[in-house]
A and B are shown apart, each in its own frame.
Chain A
């Protein structure tokens, strides 16, 4: 009763300091004092989180059903779909642990932000198809009461892949697969028996290419595939903030900390053929608070690794990969950070507003940025010239020596350009086959992965989040079957490789 009275007192009538500042003079200090006293009383009464002995409000809760390590777009997507697919509201307690709340090194916000369906693996195509449908209807998926709608700034300008003679056959086969993908991708507002068209991609010969994009130099190009619909680029920061806002409104707890330890227990068991395996189960996650030695053991039932470029380190903490090499126990999670540079330049005579994201057969790519003749682009270095991923310093000579020649060759207007800005970001690079790792680990029974997408994680994040949530709640993939992306492929040696030109 007392508590209700106090809460009414702290309601719209007396907003404490906020309203107090609008009043004048002598009543100001008194109102502030009264509201502070009320706040103190309210926190002491049962139900308040204040404890006189030590204040633990900065620590995560002692127990959470699911702990998601990593608060980037993949982690938030998993949290969103978990909350969306749980059968009753508030059934599962989810905690997202993020080390850096400014996302200064996160791959999500440093990404170029492109989305395409032009992959060769059907699973990748389906993931991108659902993701673009999610992004188109983002204000229905991520609507929060009383908050403004999201403006993703989705530019549906498409992707243009150029192929030389050698790559032309691969490109044709890929386009066939892309066109075939369709069927029910579980989209919002569609009836279940409408068969969706697959990706809309058109193949162009060099003459058609020259006619459509006169600024391209078609030397060395045998075939081009141009995505007509559902491809382009968007603002990843907006997606991240939208997901964050929605996920917080659905009741997911955020924690600012770093995972330092997993406490687990092992079970020695035998398979049906008599082999001995050791299955492990994680009981607790130790989350260390920033800039302090304090940590909180969070008791959990499930752990999801969505830590992006640092997923390899987190997996090692959990003991994945500690064993004789060549066995399932010794199979590491092969995700490591790789630094990629993105350069922003200005070219007054450059391609116009219709320019898609052009991917050269050499590996260089660029896209239009904004309306002022600015362009973003980069180039994936070869294995030997991989930059050191220790920091995010930009190497400007890389642009001069490696990127510019290819750009200038492909688009003659780029011979005169001026680099305005540059930054570097990490790929969560899967050294095995450069595609994502999704799903449970065969030995650590309650650990799930949603990482390792090597540069196309952002565009597949909504669909991957849904897939992981389905495996956690139902036990299997229901809408998009991502079994080729399970962890066990690292041990079995089955590469899910993209036969793409880049």
Chain B
């Protein structure tokens, strides 16, 4: 694993010591090269995890997430070039350094063997993200957004620290590989209930669960584009990844404790999808759609069947790429019109036809069109939820319909219809933007040819 971490750390001196006109090119190219090396992790020689050392390992669950994380860094750098043009040089380098630090922490989170290392890195990812949101965001509300983001996640994860220390004391180890075989079944006592809650709440806040989701629209909307991308694509999946790692140790208590969260997620899916239909701010719409998709992942993880686990992992990767692409598209709109309100920028297909193609593809993948991996994820989750309880099909079916509605609403409002007068002279799309969209959508479409690499460890 050091073969990823050390080059990523070395990206920092690369940024600071490059010549002025080469910082973007250098950092983007080198991070792209590093991301290609992450594909090596896909070859797993046996059913056990691919162990690199006592500290790092990777298995078919963390591998796709790791590849997604490393793939996203060059994309984030490409997306940020435009809004950082006017900044002084040191600030540009600082921004890139923040992204690289975040990347290092994320790699270490996804590959940590010890749960304490996982926890430390989990919390450490908050710091560069907070800096990015509050320093480089666009509106004054970003301070509020940063505070919400920080405190929601911190307060959620403090009990996790306590629970992990307790587990270390009782089990003697927090090494994930050993924990799988060493845990005792938890009975339904009060202290076990609290321990279950302590373990899960951090990840519930991160996902986010419907009742604890208030930080997400604020943080996503106020963050600059790279912040939004990494938040939507990777940081939310940290919660899912954590839940998938921790639930094997919490059996069989999960069957009893999961009910309220299942209900919240099922209801929250529909609620947040409906809110999307009433949104006027484009980024806010995409943020709420993220909550809706992640609610599906939460329900899948909580019912703990093989199909649902496969659906959850697929959905995480698919949503990561789709949401990140939608944020990039919204940002390309914002850079031209300087407003995020949807009704002020309509009928753009006439002016930016190729961007309209990317909008179409992103909206189609967002509404889970077959045969994309979004559909595979949603379908697996739906089927496993149906077998868990027949009635959930009503709620999930409603959610799918409303998801389609708001994805098409977003597409139609921004692309089709009569354009307003003040979009007449939009600067044509840059090649950089087209590359960005292509690099998002090509992995997404290619994965539909071979989805088994993202189906997770239970495939």
Residues of A within 8 A of B (CB): 46-47, 49, 51, 61-63, 65, 86-88, 90-93, 265, 267, 269, 279-281, 283, 299-302, 440, 445-446, 448, 471-476
Contacts and interface: CB of A to CB of B under 8 A. Distances in A.
B343 interface: yes
Give me the 6 closest cross-chain CB pairs, A-B, nearest first: A301-B339, A91-B280, A279-B425, A446-B422, A46-B147, A440-B421
Interface in B120-171: 138-140, 143-144, 147-148
A283 B345 CA distance: 15
A475 B420 CA distance: 4
A48 to B, nearest CB: 9
Contacts of B346: 475
Interface in B345-386: 345-347
Contacts of B280: 86-88, 90-92
A446 B338 CA distance: 11
A302 B138 contact: no
Nearest to B150: A46
A445 to B, nearest CB: 5
A14 to B, nearest CB: 26
Residue of B140, B278, B346 ringed by the most chain A CB atoms within 10 A = B140
B220 interface: no
Contacts of A49: 140
Contact of B424 (A91, A279, A283, A473): A279
B310 to A, nearest CB: 39
A46 B421 contact: no
A476 B347 CA distance: 13
B136 to A, nearest CB: 13
A440 B278 CA distance: 29
Nearest to A267: B425
A87 B278 CA distance: 10
Given A91-B343, A445-B421, A448-B422, 13 more contacts: A46-B143, A49-B140, A62-B138, A62-B140, A86-B343, A87-B280, A92-B280, A299-B138, A300-B338, A446-B422, A473-B420, A475-B347, A475-B421
Nearest to A302: B422
23 contacts: A51-B143, A61-B140, A62-B138, A62-B139, A63-B139, A65-B344, A86-B280, A87-B280, A91-B342, A92-B280, A92-B344, A269-B425, A281-B422, A281-B425, A283-B338, A301-B338, A301-B341, A440-B421, A445-B422, A446-B422, A448-B422, A472-B421, A475-B421
For chain B, what secondary structure do more than half of its interface residues adopt (helix, strand, loop), or is it mixed? loop
A49 B140 CA distance: 9
B57 to A, nearest CB: 39
Contacts of B418: 474-476
Residue of B338, B342, B347, B419 ringed by the most chain A CB atoms within 10 A = B338
Nearest to B148: A46
B139 A475 contact: no
Nearest to A446: B422
Residue of B138, B148, B347, B422 ringed by the most chain A CB atoms within 10 A = B422
A59 to B, nearest CB: 10
Contacts of A283: 338
A440 B420 CA distance: 10
B37 interface: no
Interface residues of B, number: 28
B81 interface: no
A284 to B, nearest CB: 8
A87 B342 CA distance: 11
Nearest to B281: A91
B193 to A, nearest CB: 23
Contacts of B345: 301
Contacts of B420: 472-475
A51 B144 CA distance: 11
B258 interface: no
Residue of A86, A91, A471 ringed by the most chain B CB atoms within 10 A = A91
A93 B418 CA distance: 22
Nearest to A280: B425
Given A91-B280, A475-B419, A46 B144 contact: yes
Interface in B409-436: 418-425, 427
Contacts of A269: 425
A252 to B, nearest CB: 14
B408 interface: no
B78 interface: no
A468 to B, nearest CB: 11
B337 interface: yes
Contacts of A267: 425, 427
Contact of B144 (A47, A61, A279, A299): A47
B341 A92 contact: yes
Nearest to B425: A279
Contacts of B421: 440, 445, 471-472, 475
A91 B341 contact: yes
Residue of B339, B346, B420, B425 ringed by the most chain A CB atoms within 10 A = B425
Residue of B147, B342, B347, B421 ringed by the most chain A CB atoms within 10 A = B421
Contacts of B341: 65, 91-93, 301
Contacts of A92: 280, 341, 343-344
Nearest to A47: B144
Given A267-B425, A445-B422, A471-B421, A88 B278 contact: yes
A301 B335 CA distance: 10
A87 B339 contact: no
A301 B423 CA distance: 10
A119 B176 CA distance: 85
